[in-house]
C-alpha cells in the first residue's frame, strides 16, 4: 500500500505530501491539486513522455527538477520519477537511479518489478463518461473497464460467464441500489457489438444502456468495479458522486469500501487501495466517524498542499455537533475557495 506521495514542483504541488490509507477521500477547492495528484501514477511510470514546461510549477524562482516520490507503507521503500530541467537533460544526463525494490535476475538479465512497483503499475483513475459507458463494445474485445467507463458491457458479460456467484450478488445489489431494476442483460447487434441493458423489476422490460440516465450509468459502473474479480491494485475515482442522487451516496461509499476492505464484505481477494475526490458535502458527511480517511486539499500563495483531517489540531472538538459536510463548507477546516 502507498503510504504517501511527495510532490516537488509538480504543477500546483510545489512541495506537498499526500498522506494515504487503504481508503482516502480528498476534498478541496478547484485547482487545489486533487486531480494533479492522480496524475502522479502515470508520471511515475512514464515521466519522460511529459513536457517539462507543462508539468513544472509555474513561476519558480530558478530552474528545478520535477519529482514525484511514492513511499511504500510496508517496506518504507520509495519509488520516484524525476523530470529534469531541459538544459540539464541535454548537458548532464543523469543515469536513472537503481530502485532497491526492483529484483534483478542475472541469468535472464531482466528486472522484475517489486510487489510495490507492480501495484503502482496497476492503477486506474476513473473519471466516468456516461456516453462511453453506454457505448457498444466489440464482442471479441478484452473485458477491461477503461478509465472513462468504456467496455462495461464486456466486463459485465465476462463476470456473468466466469463468476456466477459474484454476478448474482451484483444483480442483487443493483436491485438494492436501483429498486426499479432487478437484472443486467445483454443485447448483441448484427455488427458484432454488444451492449448491456437493465431489466425492470416489474414487467421485465429491458432498457438499453443508451436509454438509461447518466446517474444510473455511473451507478452501474461503480457497482461493477466493486464486484470485479481482479480489480486494479490502486483505484482513483474522480468525483464518484457525480450525477448520483444524494440518497445513493451511502451505497457509493460502500462500493468503494468493498474494494478497500474486502474482508468486511466477506470478500476473498486482495484489498484495493482507493483514492477518491469530491466537492460534495453530502458525501463528506458520511466520513465524520473516520477523519483519518479524509484529506483536505488547501491552496495558498505557496501552492497546493494536503492535510489529513484527523491530524488537524483540536479536531475532536471541531467535529462535534454539526455534520462534517457543513463544517467543511463553512471554511472552518480550510479546503474551500478563497473567493466566492
Partner 1 sequence: MRIAVVSESSADEAAVKILVDAIVGSETEIVALRTRPNGWPHVLNLLPNIVIRLHYGTDVEGLVVVVDSDESPVHENLHEQEQAENPECRLCLLRVALRSALAKVNPLPNRRAMKTALGLAVPAIEAWYRCGLDPHVTEFEWVRKLQGEILTYDKRSLKISAYGSDPSSNFHRTEVGKQAALRLATNLEQLEQRFPNGFGALLRDLQHW
- Shortest separation between residue 300's beta carbon and partner 1, angstroms: 13
What number of other Cβ atoms are within 10 A of residue 302's Cβ?
Answer: 10
Q: Which residues does 88 contact at the CB level (< 8 Å), separation at least 6?
A: 63, 65, 94
Judged by DSSP in three states, 303 sits in: strand
For partner 1, the closer of residues 75 and 330 by Cβ is 330
In whole angstroms, the minimum distance from the beta carbon of 4 to partner 1 comes to: 24
Which is closer to partner 1, CB of 220 or CB of 319? 319
Residue 28 Cβ, how far from partner 1 at the closest point, in Å?
15
Nearer to partner 1, 266 or 339 (CB): 339
The answer to whether 12 and 32 are in contact (CB under 8 A) is yes
Extract long-range pairs of 176-182: CB within 8 Å, 24+ residues apart.
176/251, 177/219, 177/223, 177/248, 177/251, 178/216, 178/219, 181/207
- Between CA 83 and CA 45 the distance in angstroms is 12
Nearer to partner 1, 26 or 336 (CB): 336
Tell the smallest beta-carbon distance from residue 136 to partner 1 (Å): 41
Q: Over the range 182-202, which residues count as b (16 or more CB within 10 Å of their CB) and which as e? A: bbbeeeeeeeebbbbbbbeee
Q: In this complex, which beta carbon is closest to partner 1, that of residue 76 or of residue 340?
A: 340
Smallest separation (angstroms) from partner 1 to the CB of 297: 18
Asked if residues 71 and 4 have their Cβ atoms less than 8 Å apart, the reply is yes
Burial class (CB in 10 A: 0-12, 13-18, 19+), 266: exposed
Q: Which residues bind partner 1 (CB under 8 A)?
A: 281, 313-314, 317-323, 326-327, 329-333, 336, 339-340
d(CA 309, CA 296): 6
For partner 1, the closer of residues 109 and 289 by Cβ is 289
Q: How far is the CB of 298 from partner 1 (least distance, A)?
A: 13
Amino acid at each position: 500500500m502507498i503510504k504517501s506521495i511527495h510532490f516537488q514542483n509538480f504543477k500546483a504541488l510545489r512541495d506537498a505530501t499526500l498522506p494515504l490509507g487503504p481508503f482516502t477521500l480528498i476534498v478541496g477547492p478547484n485547482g487545489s491539486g486533487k486531480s494533479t495528484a492522480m496524475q502522479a501514477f502515470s508520471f511515475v511510470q512514464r515521466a519522460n513522455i511529459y513536457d517539462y514546461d507543462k508539468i513544472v510549477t509555474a513561476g519558480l524562482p530558478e530552474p528545478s527538477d520535477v519529482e514525484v516520490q511514492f513511499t511504500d507503507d510496508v517496506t518504507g521503500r520509495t519509488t520516484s520519477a524525476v523530470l529534469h530541467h531541459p538544459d540539464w537533460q541535454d548537458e548532464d544526463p543523469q543515469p536513472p537511479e537503481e530502485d532497491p525494490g526492483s529484483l534483478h535476475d542475472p541469468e535472464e538479465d531482466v528486472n522484475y518489478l517489486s510487489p510495490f512497483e507492480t501495484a503502482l503499475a496497476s492503477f486506474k483513475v476513473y473519471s466516468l463518461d456516461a456516453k462511453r459507458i453506454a457505448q457498444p463494445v466489440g464482442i471479441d474485445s478484452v473485458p477491461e473497464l477503461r478509465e472513462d467507463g468504456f467496455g462495461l458491457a464486456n466486463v459485465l458479460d465476462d463476470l456473468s460467464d466466469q463468476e456466477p456467484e459474484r454476478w448474482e450478488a451484483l444483480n442483487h445489489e443493483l436491485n438494492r441500489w436501483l429498486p426499479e431494476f432487478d437484472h443486467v442483460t445483454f443485447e448483441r447487434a448484427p455488427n458484432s457489438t454488444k451492449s448491456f441493458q437493465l431489466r425492470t423489476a416489474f414487467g421485465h422490460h429491458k432498457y438499453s444502456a443508451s436509454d438509461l440516465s447518466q446517474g444510473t450509468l455511473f451507478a452501474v459502473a461503480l457497482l461493477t468495479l466493486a464486484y470485479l474479480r481482479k480489480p486494479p491494485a490502486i483505484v482513483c475515482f474522480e468525483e464518484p458522486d457525480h450525477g448520483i442522487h444524494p440518497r445513493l451516496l451511502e451505497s457509493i461509499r460502500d462500493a468503494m469500501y468493498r474494494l478497500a476492505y474486502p474482508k468486511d464484505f466477506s470478500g476473498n481477494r486482495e484489498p484495493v487501495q482507493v483514492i477518491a475526490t469530491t466537492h460534495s458535502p453530502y458525501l463528506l458527511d458520511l466520513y465524520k466517524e473516520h477523519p483519518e480517511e479524509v484529506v483536505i486539499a488547501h491552496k495558498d500563495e505557496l501552492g497546493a498542499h494536503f492535510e489529513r483531517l484527523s491530524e488537524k489540531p483540536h479536531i475532536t472538538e471541531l467535529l462535534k455537533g454539526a455534520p462534517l459536510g457543513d463544517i467543511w463548507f463553512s471554511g472552518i477546516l480550510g479546503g474551500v475557495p478563497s473567493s466566492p
